[in-house]
Structure 1
């Protein structure tokens, strides 16, 4: 289905990808994302979490505006019992070509069969270490064995393409690059080494844990001089493989963001706010329109306004005090 009025920003970028946070709740407390006390400060957001019907309506409207890819995020999206229903709804929406999901994997055993039957196209699983004690230190939860078992089941099923998201932190897990690369020897997964970002509830961003693109690449090449570099997507531009390995690796410059000029996405938070950039400090409230059953064209105009406000380069937005404190508030 082609849109008569696709979402095009001021810089002639066509917006075709929407990330929808279906909850801001999470069952982990990662040191680079959410503090232990975070949810007690945001109880109102749980009352306002978008309903199933709201999300279905938004997906239909977005498809009509040229959105072709939907990713469900959180918080932790598998905390929603209707997540497979949401995937099916998106897959059944005319115009939507790809539906994916990002999860920490803790509850994957409860939802994997439903997600597979719903037609999920791809799954990103966040796992920052392959060591149980280190996992507990990073996430503040002792659930590594469950996550690893779920990952093994997912890979064995070969039902859904898998990528592993690994947030790299100096002195915390930066010595595990080789272990993750070796994981790709026999598994057809993409391991994505990601830069730390400053949305961490004021926990570790200013403690020297940041590990940038250049350093991650240098560590990779130090261990694997034979590493082959490939031209990947705008997000996974720095893509690598090793001869004879089933999988591959990529570096995601999530903070230094070399791909801003090619950004084709918008985000909808679980509180019902549309944000056009990770560094958008306010966004535009969508929830009031849904609550009063606004006309489709009015909601469509809100999306057009949000896209019009999209900056050319998020790096120029700054890191002021008004930034959201946790990635769970933004939707990944």
Structure 2
């Protein structure tokens, strides 16, 4: 499928904010529904706010086309749990068929991977992040609220067999819960070619007490890794905020996402669009700007691109998590994490 040529006069320059940061990575949420009940995100499960009206396929196609014209090279499809959408494979094809997009990725809890990994690969998906917060099935159940550990692990094996170019495992660091899992994770990646990413717990609007009880600084893990011979890898252009490390004795790599580290926001290269079509310049700090009115027809693309450029001027230099200011984000599922 070929996208139609742009109509009208369009600013083709890459999206850039007033601090010189360029944005070539879009996290596109397609639903905020999730079937897991992770304690750090949706401890009471998903609760819909009325009947959700998530972006339709034609709106997604127009969104992808506009971002592709202003320098976006990588799109990560997120949720909630994105694969809950019955048209998920069609969404993958829309992104993959755009010639401006070099990398099609998704983040998932992995519960549908076993059955659909090959189908999604054939549709154009190339990179997968799977959330696995513990390799202990009992702790996995305690954190996620779902007894699906074996199912998720079989899904990861299916993804490896399907030929995905990069598989990452996301684990949120939680003091008193999974913080003793590091040796088990290291043993796994010694002979398995996957990237393991430890994500420092971030405070959200619903999680102040939880954050205080379970926050563990990613810097502690970094120092431990360096003491054991792990070496820092220079980032590539489409990498996210993780600091990546490799070791000559391991097939897998480790990445650390540390939002409380100094200068974390200096290398920001990503924007977010929610499942209902709001542009978010940061995971925290602001309410988001509605784009949906300009996603109805391809003839609106020039105006949509101008809106994107104008909004980048409003992007803040950093988040304010250090001051305990979490913005309007109630939970990470609401705008795709």
Query: Shared fold by TM > 0.5?
Result: yes
* Change over 3 Å in CA distance of 1:70–1:117 after alignment to 2: same
Aligned match of 1:243: 248
* TM-aligned CA deviation for residue 206 of structure 1: 3.4
2:158 matches 1:153: yes
The alpha-carbon distance between structure 1 residues 21 and 196, as it changes in their structure 2 partners (threshold 3 A), is: same
Q: Note closer, same or farther for the CA distance 1:321–1:11 as it changes in structure 2 (3 Å cut).
A: closer
Report the Cα distance in structure 1 between the residues aligned to 2:257 and 2:35, rounded to whole angstroms. Answer: 25
Give the aligned length: 327
Pick from 306, 331, 336 the counterpart of residue 331 of structure 1.
336
Distance (Å, rounded) in 2 between the aligned partners of 1:200 and 1:241:
35
Q: CA deviation at 1:298?
A: 2.0
Matches within 5 A, 1:294-305: 295-305=300-310
1:43 to 15, 39, 50: 50
Which of 259, 263, 267 aligns to 1:262? It is 267
Distance 1:62 1:290 in 2: 12
On the 8 A contact 1:187/1:246 being kept in 2, the answer is: yes
* Structure 2 residues without counterparts, runs of 5 or longer: none
Q: Report the CA distance shift for 1:160/1:78 in structure 2 as closer, same or farther (over 3 A).
A: farther
Tell me the residue number matched to 2:295.
Answer: 290
CA-CA distance at 1:6 after TM superposition? 2.0
**Cα offsets for 1:155-188 (capped at 9, x unmatched):** 2343342011111111110101111111111111
Contact 2:240 2:269 in 1 (8 A): no
Structure 1 match to 2:89: 84
The alpha-carbon deviation at position 151 of structure 1 amounts to 1.3
CA contact (8 A) 2:11 2:306 kept: no
> After TM superposition, where is structure 1 displaced by more than 6 Å over at least 4 residues in a row?
none
CA deviation string 1:284-318 (max 9, x = no partner): 01223336887222222221232221111123795
Once the two structures are TM-superposed, the CA of residue 139 in structure 1 deviates from its matched residue by 0.6
What corresponds to 1:100 in structure 2?
105
1:121 is aligned to 2:129: no
- Conserved 8 A contact 1:279-1:318: no
Name which of 232, 235, 239 aligns with 2:235.
Answer: 232
What SS does the corresponding residue of 1:250 show, helix, strand or coil?
Answer: strand
Q: CA deviation at 1:37?
A: 4.8
CA 1:21 to 1:69, structure 2 compared with 1: closer, same or farther past 3 Å? same
Change (3 A) 1:291 1:194: same
Q: Cα deviation per residue 1:89-127 (whole Å; 9 max; x = unaligned)?
A: 111112111111111101112321221101212111110
State the alpha-carbon separation in 1 of the partners of residues 192 and 241 from structure 2. Answer: 19
Aligned residue for 2:317? 312
SS at match of 1:206: helix
Q: Is the 8 A contact 1:169 1:211 kept in 2?
A: yes
CA drift of 1:321 comes to 6.9
Q: Which residue of 2 aligns with 1:19?
A: 27
Find the residue that maps to 2:180 and give its secondary structure.
helix
For residue 216 of structure 1, the aligned residue among 221, 227, 245 is 221
User: Given the alignment of the two structures, is residue 65 of structure 1 paired with residue 75 of structure 2, yes or no?
Assistant: no
C-alpha distance in 1 between matches for 2:61 and 2:253: 34
Distance verdict in 2 for CA 1:226–1:263, change over 3 Å:
closer
Give the match's secondary structure for 1:163.
strand
Q: Report the alpha carbon displacement of residue 282 of structure 1 after superposing the two structures with TM.
A: 0.7
Structure 1-normalised TM-score?
0.90
TM-score, normalised relative to structure 2: 0.89
